[in-house]
Amino acid sequence: MLKFSDEFWTSTSGDLSQRREALAVPAVVDGPGDAVRIVVDPADRGQPWIGAGAAVTDAAASLIWNSMDAGRRHEFLDECFNPERGGFSVVRVPLGSCEPAAQPYYTYDDVPFGEHDNTLSKFSLGEGEPGAPDATKDLKHIVPVLQEILAINPAVKIIASPWSAPAWMKNTGHLCQGGRLRFGEWTGNGFDPMHDSFEGCYARYFVRYVEEMAKLGIPIWGVTVQNEPSNAPKWQAMMWTLKEQAAFVHDFLRPAMNERFPEMRIFVNDDSTHNLMWPVRDL
């Protein structure tokens, strides 16, 4: 396998002129000296440990896929995800695009403003062959990188998190700057909550994503309801209260997943650390 012979500092200007020096190996001593002693008792278990890993956004995947030749790309991913090397065991991916993107923002069911697609007939992870220059959406960068990661370590857990529902499902009609799912409204011609409400349609959107990724050999281990549900930035975003997330999971997302993927893990409050106390306060 290829070795990385050159390492560089980088900056926002893209200046690669500053050579990065290797860090000195710290000394190993028998006594802790003035340091704080930390004792790890493996018999005293707290919360379950799922793993550690990295996010693979469209921007990150585009750099991995386009800026390295095949040998160097494999060496980089092997160094990260091979259990005998870096040992990364979790990957977080956006369910749809997110703000660090190499392509125009997208979801998997984009229709002209004012139109709906409650049957999800226009759902697509993208066009073209995975990794091809003319491929679009997830097929352009994210899918081929995930496929290579899974070839290195098939046990990697992939967690998908949406930045926004399709714009037509939101009360603002736009992907960016927050907005909310159109709770309590109808998008179909009938009154079947799972098929004609916006909540039911969005739940089926999640299921369809998992189905289509599975067809590409990419098993989704878990999903979160929303990335940063308390945030409404200028890029793709959608706001939820914790009670809205809980109701959506209980009434729509969990039942929809149970029909096809009963083992699917569903997470709420996928937010910044300053909001980790929401569940204690609100539920």
| Averaged pLDDT for residues 219-244 | 95
pLDDT tens by residue, 144-201: 999 999 999 999 999 999 999 999 999 999 999 999 999 999 997 888 888 899 999 9
Give dist(CA 193, CA 202) in Å, integer. Answer: 11
Please check the confidence at residue 62 and state whether its pLDDT lies above 90: yes
| Averaged pLDDT for residues 227-250 | 94
Using pLDDT thresholds of 50, 70 and 90, give the confidence band for residue 46.
confident
Tokens of 188: 């179909």
Task: Please state the pTM of the whole predicted model.
Answer: 0.86
13 vs 90: which has the higher pLDDT = 90
Q: Which of 58-72, 218-232, 266-280 has the lowest mean pLDDT?
A: 266-280
Highest-scoring range by mean pLDDT, 6-10, 194-198, 224-228: 224-228
Exposed e or buried b per residue across 35-72, where buried means at least 16 C-beta atoms within 10 angstroms of its C-beta:
eeeeeeeeeeeeeeeeeebebbbbbbbbebbeeeeeee
Query: C-alpha dihedral over 175, 250, 158, 182, to 10 degrees?
Result: -10
Give the Å distances, CA to CA, from 282 to 62, 182, 239, 250, 276: 39, 22, 16, 16, 11
Which pLDDT score, from 0 to 100, does residue 155 have? 98
Give dist(CA 48, CA 53) in Å, integer. Answer: 16
Share of the chain above pLDDT 70, in %: 89
| Averaged pLDDT for residues 126-134 | 97
Beta carbons within 8 Å of 59's beta carbon, 6+ residues apart: 100, 101, 102
Please check the confidence at residue 5 and state whether its pLDDT lies above 80: no
| Averaged pLDDT for residues 131-147 | 98
| Averaged pLDDT for residues 239-261 | 96
53 vs 28: which has the higher pLDDT = 53
What are the φ and ψ backbone dihedral angles of 14, each rounded to 5 degrees? 75, 20
Task: Calculate helix-pair angle for 58-66, 142-152, nearest 10 degrees.
Answer: 70
Domain 53-282 belongs to what topology? TIM Barrel (3.20.20)
Which pLDDT score, from 0 to 100, does residue 280 have? 66
Long-range contacts of 151-154 (CB under 8 A, 24+ apart): 152/74, 152/77, 152/78, 152/81, 152/82, 153/81, 153/82, 153/83, 153/88, 153/89
Which pLDDT score, from 0 to 100, does residue 16 have? 52
Residue 90 bridge partners (DSSP): 53, 157
Which pLDDT score, from 0 to 100, does residue 178 have? 93
Give dist(CA 82, CA 88) in Å, integer. Answer: 7
Which pLDDT score, from 0 to 100, does residue 33 have? 80
Please check the confidence at residue 274 and state whether its pLDDT lies above 80: no
Give dist(CA 152, CA 113) in Å, integer. Answer: 42
Which among 176, 157, 158 is positioned nearest to 166, based on CA atoms? 176
Asked if residues 126 and 107 have their Cβ atoms less than 8 Å apart, the reply is: no
Using pLDDT thresholds of 50, 70 and 90, give the confidence band for residue 1.
very low
